[in-house]
Chain A
């Protein structure tokens, strides 16, 4: 028996919809769980937001007891195989007749997302509520122009030809209709024998016809065409001033928030690749997060050893330097740039400084002083000390303790980063401080 069930589209049930939705939820959760890892990947940091990246996502595997992939399998070949031949790994997968899910290591998704989407997912839980956002420093900016219908007065540039043309035709039509109406009325009156009333109405009709004549040769036409001769345009009729319509444009203003992020990094000899990598992961998150909150984010990179320089992003992350450390130099440079370019009245200033905490002792007082200055003008200032495990603590975390004890402000926080896994939790902790402050 063969059945051909005809189901109308609207009646057809998409039976797997529920299970698919649940699965998608789980994938999203998986992205979220791994996102800190994904984002701190070398290849991603510093890329623009619309960059599409491929993210291998370990989804919820369907775990069961299985054999490892180091057990031999059997395949069929073309007959020219010989012992010891190497088959590239990509082509060779199925030793189990394609039975689903019993081979480990194949259960991952590679999904394509843009960096912006990733960041959105990442910061979903971290975003500030609306009320709090209002407290950010704001400035008025012109956002967009809105078209708000038409008006009779306006500047030439906004003249709307279609609209005006329609008005013109309408005027003509109205006059013609009025004449026809009057003609009927006159005829009716005559028919009823009321000659006097009819005469009166005829007067009105005459006026109307004159008006129509005027319309067809009217004043506006003379003005527009510039000469009195209009024979060539007989049958057409001119625009009048009344017909012209102008677009009305309203300009919306909105309060816009700007932010500048100062990334200050110690590039002295003691900051090796690992430390820099940890620092840059943190900076990356900071920049990305602040970008989701403000429409206009500027980024300033300052690297310092005993003296500070403003550098490009590329240099910031990749150039190594050497020498000793004056932490104050970085802060002073930041202050200088704030003064020059980022008036705190218009800009929300965020500053974050990463260092391994080895400072020349003679500089400590200056550093504290400069830091206090920055804290005064900033929304949030962070000092991150990078101390990967296994690095001896000869110097202890002197700067950290010093800053902690000397700079007492709710705008200032310290973070200690020991390993890659620390970055995301510490970042969350750091940003939640900002949140708390905004709310208070």
Chain B
């Protein structure tokens, strides 16, 4: 292994930075910090944050990572980068020079993505590190408070964590304020002079219906469950409301990363490859680069490696657009376009591959990215297949990416990326039923049933936060049922009430 020191790293970083600029990437400032394996495990357990509020689940994450690392099951990642401005990344001290160079180039890819992708527009990167620090200080304050204490805080956080990801997924869609929502609902019922009244279906409403609709709490189903509870449970104390806000804010911070995992890793991998190829490394380092690069983007049989899938799609887009612009479309693609038509993009053939991928990295998220650009040929090349768990714990392959199967596989894949892995559950009614303000949650069924053992425990958490009864409406085994948890913790259901 070639020895190196801090000056070497700085020199390489300088060169990488030049290439980053000249290639059109547009980054935040980038800080690197060297750390050792233990620090790295620590950062990973706390999602890279230099400070984070305490909770046992992070201890659990640390132990798990450490066990995997100690037994050699998983190496440490080469890099850990957080979305902040300036962006902060960690480099592991023991890594070889090539790994450090590769990591730095990769980190710049992420950095560009954080800064430019639409999904991250609302993540407030200027305040990231400070926000997490302030949260940590406040939680510690509550833990040390003589009338609160760590036990209460922990219990409350346990419950809040269970619901943290039940929040809005697309932060670009504006959340209406109460007044705006009222207006919108009134608009829904408003009778306008409409020459096409027969075609436009408008809910007919007498005053009673409108009044009723305006009295509903929430007016429209609310996806931010923690915030709804914060605003509508009158018995919560200030520190509890504060915790709910914090947990919600932190979850919202991570949503964009969940939403763009495949794109983001693919983008960074694509760019570390481009940059390193342009760096003109000596041959020895270049050989090492190919080995490491292939380790990163290797397909894991049976899994989906986001690095692999991501870089494959990015490279495919770039290749096709370059081809189309130069007018030199290869036979295989011509064949494909004849059968399925060209990509439905007005700019196809007009802009270069590089221009195209820069546009895509700005506006897409994993779901839209894969829906548009993961084509049949690519799926075949990647040997994507669909599996399902059998009762005996083994898996059976249901579909492979042949002419019959690829569409189904793609649909399944889309359901398993980004926040689509999280069931959509909204607060439907905050004053449901008799006997106190009961909370009615509604699961928006998309063909996948909730896992009831987990639902049961989670409902209990909601109950503890809400301080009253909680009913979950969900479709399970084809029947729409109401679920709730009785006093002694059993899951009860009633499939007669709802249609």
Contact = CB atoms under 8 A, between A and B. Distances in A.
Nearest to B410: A74
Given A3-B31, A63-B454, A73-B416, A89 B394 contact: yes
Interface residues of B, number: 89
A81 B154 contact: no
B304 interface: yes
B458 A64 contact: yes
Contacts of B452: 68
Contact of B305 (A76, A82, A91, A104): A76
A70 interface: yes
B196 interface: no
Nearest to B35: A5
Interface stretch (B51-59, B174-182, B284-292, B324-332): B51-59
Nearest to B150: A22
Nearest to A90: B393
B57 A62 contact: yes
Interface stretch (A92-100, A203-211, A294-302, A368-376): A92-100
B156 interface: no
B262 A23 contact: no
Given A16-B42, A18-B54, A65-B425, A1 B31 contact: yes
B235 to A, nearest CB: 23
Contacts of B206: none
A126 B241 CA distance: 41
A87 interface: yes
B454 to A, nearest CB: 5
B63 A81 contact: no
Given A3-B33, A63-B162, A99-B258, A76 B55 contact: no
Given A20-B63, A22-B59, A89-B393, A66 B423 contact: yes
A77 B301 contact: yes
A26 B416 CA distance: 32
A68 B400 contact: no
A3 B55 contact: no
B455 A73 contact: no
Given A63-B457, A82-B397, A88-B394, A75 B59 contact: no
A76 B56 CA distance: 35
Q: Bin chain A's interface residue count.
A: 35 or more
A72 B300 CA distance: 18
Nearest to B409: A74
A72 B413 CA distance: 9
A67 B446 CA distance: 11
Interface of B is mostly: mixed
A19 B45 CA distance: 10
A75 B303 contact: yes
B34 A3 contact: yes
B304 to A, nearest CB: 6
Interface in B378-428: 382-390, 392-400, 405, 409, 412-413, 415-417, 421-423, 425
Contacts of B55: 19
Interface string B415-448: 1110001110100000000000000000100001
A124 interface: no
A87 B302 contact: yes
Given A83-B399, A92-B395, A74 B453 contact: no
A86 B56 contact: no
Contacts of A145: none
A100 B61 contact: yes
B261 interface: yes
Contacts of B199: none
Contact of A76 (B304, B405, B455): B304
A22 B63 CA distance: 12
A99 B421 contact: yes
A73 B6 contact: no
B309 interface: yes
A194 interface: no
B255 to A, nearest CB: 12
B238 to A, nearest CB: 25
B32 A2 contact: yes
Contact of A16 (B45, B395, B396): B45
A10 interface: no
A78 B382 CA distance: 8
Contacts of B163: 64
B303 A76 contact: yes
A61 B457 contact: yes
A98 B397 contact: no
A23 B455 contact: no
B59 A104 contact: no
B302 A75 contact: yes
Nearest to B423: A65
B273 interface: no
B90 to A, nearest CB: 10
Interface in B309-323: 309
A16 B58 contact: yes
Interface string A20-49: 111111100000000000000000000000
Given A68-B451, A72-B398, A87-B395, A81 B58 contact: no
A244 B63 CA distance: 59
B111 interface: no
A390 interface: no
A84 B91 CA distance: 44
A4 interface: yes
Contacts of A89: 389, 392-395
Given A15-B46, A73-B387, A67 B423 contact: yes
B451 A67 contact: yes
A81 B398 CA distance: 10
A8 interface: no
A71 B458 CA distance: 20
B109 interface: no
B218 interface: no
A416 interface: no
A91 B302 contact: yes
A202 interface: no
Contacts of B412: 72-74
Contacts of B364: none
Contacts of B388: 70-73
B461 interface: yes
Contacts of A94: 300, 302-304
Interface centre among A61, A63, A84, A91 (most CB of B within 10 A): A63
Nearest to A91: B302
Contacts of B261: 97, 99
A68 B409 CA distance: 18
A68 B59 CA distance: 26
Contacts of B451: 66-69, 104
Nearest to A95: B416
Interface in B74-96: 91
A64 B454 contact: yes
Contacts of A61: 454, 457
Contacts of B300: 76, 94
A81 B448 contact: no
Contacts of A16: 41-42, 45-46, 58-59, 62
Contacts of A59: 60
Contacts of B409: 74
A252 interface: no
A61 B158 CA distance: 10
Query: What 4 pairs across the A-B complex have the smallest Cβ distances?
Result: A19-B59, A23-B59, A89-B393, A20-B59
16 contacts: A15-B46, A16-B46, A18-B54, A19-B56, A20-B59, A20-B63, A65-B425, A75-B302, A76-B308, A76-B309, A78-B301, A81-B397, A86-B390, A89-B395, A94-B304, A95-B303
Given A81-B400, A94-B302, 18 more contacts: A4-B33, A20-B59, A23-B57, A23-B59, A23-B63, A26-B56, A59-B60, A62-B57, A63-B454, A64-B161, A64-B162, A64-B164, A73-B412, A75-B385, A76-B383, A78-B301, A92-B394, A97-B304
